[in-house]
Structure 1
Amino acid sequence: MSGPRIPRNSHAIYRAVNRIFEGISSPPQGDYHEVVRYMNEELPRFEQVDSSYLILGSYRDAYGRRLREFANCLNMPTNAESIVLGDTIDLDTAVVPEFDIKINLLSEAADYIAGVYEKESGGESPELGVVRALFVNKTVAFPRDYTGLTRDSLETREDIIQAALAVYYADFDHIESKQRVAEKKKEEIASLLTVAQEEGIEITERELTDLIKERQSDIDESPAEYSWVHLNFFKRFEAMSQCHSWTTMAELRDRADEMPGPERPRWETEFNVGMFQDE
C-alpha cells in the first residue's frame, strides 16, 4: 500500500498553514485537527481540475444568489472548479480564528480569486483587504456600479448609465405628486442624454431605458456605494486590468469570461437543434 499522496500545491498549503499559526505559540491540538479537517474536506476539489477559483463577496440573500450564479458560470467547463468561501464547512476552533483558516488555505490553493462586490459593509471588506495584500496578482474584482476612483464629469458610457440609475432611484421627497416625480426623472435622464451626445458618448434613449428596466427586474436597488478604501482597492485592480464593473445580472454572467482559465462552453456553436428533429 502506497503512502499518503503529496498535494500538487503542497508549498502553497505550507505557506498558508504557517500564516494561520503565526504568532500563536501553542495552539490547542483541536485547532490543528480543524485545520487538517478543513484541508481534507475542501481542498481536494481543487486537485482534480486544471483551473480552480475562490469566490468572495456577500453570501446572504440576493447578494449571495448573484454571487453563486457567477460561480456557476465559472464551473461550466468540466475542467474548472469554483468554491464560494461562505459555502464551505464550519470549523470549531478554540484559538485560531475560523476566517484565518478559510481565507488562507483557499486563497493559496486556488489558481484564481474572484471578488464580487455590491456594498461596503459586511465580511467582504476584510476579505478584500487580505487578497489585496497577499494575492493581488491572481485576484480579479467585480464591483457593481463602479465607475472609477473619482469622477468630476460624465466621461464614459458607464458614467451616463450610473448617473441615470441614480436619477431613477432618487427619492425626490420635496416633490409631492408622483406624476411630477416621474416627469422630473424623465427630464433629468433627457439631460444626461444631451450631455452624452455633446461628449460623443454613444448611447440612445431606448438603450438607457431598456437597461433601467432590466436593472429593475433583477436588481431593484439604487447604485452601490463604496468607502474610500474600497475605491482605492478597486483602482489598484483596475490599474492591473483586473477590475471589471457590472450593472445587471446579464453583465455579471458575461463578466465570468474575464477570468483566466478554460473557455466556457458554447453549446449553440457545437450543433444545430434541427439535426435532432425528424424531417
Structure 2
Amino acid sequence: MSGPRVPRNSYAIYRAVDRIFEGIISPPQGDYHAVVRYMNEELPRFEQADSSYLILGSYRSEYGRRLREFANCLNMPTNAESIVLGDTINLDTAVVPEFDIKINLLGEAADYVAGVYEKESGGESPELGVVRALFANKTFVFPRDYTGLTRDSLETREDVIQAALVVYYADFDHIESEQRVAEKKKAEIASLLTAAREEGIEITERELTDVIKERQNDLDEPPAEYSWVHLSFFKRFEAMNQCHPWTTTAELRDRADEMPGPERPRWETEFDVGMFRDD
C-alpha cells in the first residue's frame, strides 16, 4: 500500500498552513482536522488542472449570479478549473477563523486569483485587502463601472459612458413630470457628448444610447460606488495592468479573456448553427 500523496504544490500549501496557525498557541485538534478536511475536499480539483483560478466577490443574489457566470467562462477550456470561494464547504472551528483557512489554502493553491466587484459593502473589502497583501502578482480585479482613482474630466470613452450612466440614473425632482425629467436628461447627455468631442473622444449619440439601453436591459442599476480604500486597491492593480473594468454582464464575460491561462474553446467563436439546419 502506497504512502500519503504529496500535493503538487506542497510548498505553497505549507506556507498557507503556517499562516493559518501563525501566533496561535496550541490550537484545538478539531481546527487541525478542519484544515485537513478542507484540503482534501477542495484542493484536488486544482491538482487536475493546468490552470486554476480562485474567484472572489459577492456570492449572493444577482451579484453572485454574475460572479458565477464569470467563473463558468474561465471553466470553458477543459484543462482549466475555477473555484468560487463562497461555494466551498463550511467548516466548524473553535479558534481559527474559517475565512483564514479558505483564503490562505485556495489563494496559495490557485495559479491565479480573480475578484469581481460591484459595491463597497460586504465581505469583498477584507478579501481584497488579503489578496493585495499576499497574492498581488497573480490577482486580477474586475470592478464594475470603475474609471480611475480621481477623474475630474473626460479622458476616455469609458469616462463618457460612466458619466452618461450617472445622468441616466440620477434622481431628479420628483415633483416634475416624467417628460420634463426625460428632457433634462437628454439635454445633459447632449452636453456630455459635446464635451467629449471637444476632448477628442469619438463616441456618437447612437452608441451612447445603445450602451444605456443594454445596461438597462442587463442590470438596471445605478453606477457602482466604492470607498476610497477600494479605489486605491483598484488603482494599484491598474498600474500593474491587472485591473479590467466592465459595465454589462456581456462585457464581464468577455473580460474572462483577460485572465492568463488556456484559450477558450474554438467552437465558441467558430460554431455555425446553420450547419445543423435542414434546408
TM-score class normalised by the smaller sequence: over 0.9
Q: Which residue of 2 aligns with 1:102?
A: 102
Q: 2-side partners of 1:270 and 1:176: how far apart?
A: 51
Q: Which residue of 1 aligns with 2:218?
A: 218
1:119-142 CA-partner distances (Å, limit 9, x unpaired): 011000000000000100000000
Q: Which residue of 1 aligns with 2:154?
A: 154
Q: Which residue of 1 aligns with 2:83?
A: 83
> Is 1:239–2:239 an aligned residue pair?
yes
Q: Secondary structure at the match of 1:6?
A: coil
Q: Which residue of 2 aligns with 1:52?
A: 52
Q: Secondary structure at the match of 1:122?
A: coil
Closer, same or farther in 2 for the Cα pair 1:269/1:85, shift >3 Å? closer
**What's the offset of the Cα at 1:217?**
1.0
Contact kept? 1:43, 1:109, Cα under 8 Å:
yes
Once the two structures are superposed, the pairs formed by residues 252-271 of structure 1 within 5 Å of their partners are 252-267=252-267, 270=270
Closer, same or farther in 2 for the Cα pair 1:172/1:276, shift >3 Å? closer
**What's the offset of the Cα at 1:173?**
2.1
How many residues are treated as equivalent by the alignment? Answer: 279
Q: 2-side partners of 1:161 and 1:49: how far apart?
A: 38
Contact kept? 1:56, 1:116, Cα under 8 Å:
yes
Closer, same or farther in 2 for the Cα pair 1:76/1:103, shift >3 Å? same
Contact kept? 1:114, 1:139, Cα under 8 Å:
yes
> Is 1:136–2:175 an aligned residue pair?
no
Q: 1-side partners of 2:269 and 2:170: how far apart?
A: 43
Closer, same or farther in 2 for the Cα pair 1:276/1:152, shift >3 Å? closer
Contact kept? 1:55, 1:113, Cα under 8 Å:
yes
**What's the offset of the Cα at 1:199?**
1.1
**What's the offset of the Cα at 1:196?**
1.2
Q: Which residue of 1 aligns with 2:182?
A: 182
Q: Share of identical aligned residues, percent?
A: 89
Return structure 1 stretches of 4+ with deviation > 3 angstroms.
268-279
Closer, same or farther in 2 for the Cα pair 1:174/1:130, shift >3 Å? same
Closer, same or farther in 2 for the Cα pair 1:157/1:45, shift >3 Å? same
Q: Which residue of 2 aligns with 1:11?
A: 11
Contact kept? 1:142, 1:246, Cα under 8 Å:
yes
Q: 2-side partners of 1:231 and 1:165: how far apart?
A: 19
Q: Which residue of 2 aligns with 1:23?
A: 23
Q: Which residue of 2 aligns with 1:207?
A: 207
Q: 2-side partners of 1:172 and 1:270: how far apart?
A: 47
Contact kept? 1:175, 1:181, Cα under 8 Å:
no
**What's the offset of the Cα at 1:266?**
2.7
**What's the offset of the Cα at 1:197?**
1.2
Q: Which residue of 2 aligns with 1:39?
A: 39
Q: Which residue of 1 aligns with 2:117?
A: 117
**What's the offset of the Cα at 1:272?**
4.6
Contact kept? 1:71, 1:82, Cα under 8 Å:
yes
Aligned residue type for 1:118: E
Closer, same or farther in 2 for the Cα pair 1:274/1:151, shift >3 Å? closer
Q: 2-side partners of 1:139 and 1:46: how far apart?
A: 16
Unpaired stretches in structure 2, ≥5 consecutive residues? none
Q: Secondary structure at the match of 1:141?
A: strand
Aligned residue type for 1:115: G
Aligned residue type for 2:88: T
Q: Secondary structure at the match of 1:113?
A: strand
Q: Secondary structure at the match of 1:78?
A: coil
Q: 2-side partners of 1:190 and 1:169: how far apart?
A: 16
Q: Secondary structure at the match of 2:233?
A: helix
The two structures, once aligned, show a CA RMSD in angstroms of 1.3
Aligned residue type for 1:266: R
Q: Secondary structure at the match of 1:49?
A: coil
**What's the offset of the Cα at 1:72?**
0.3
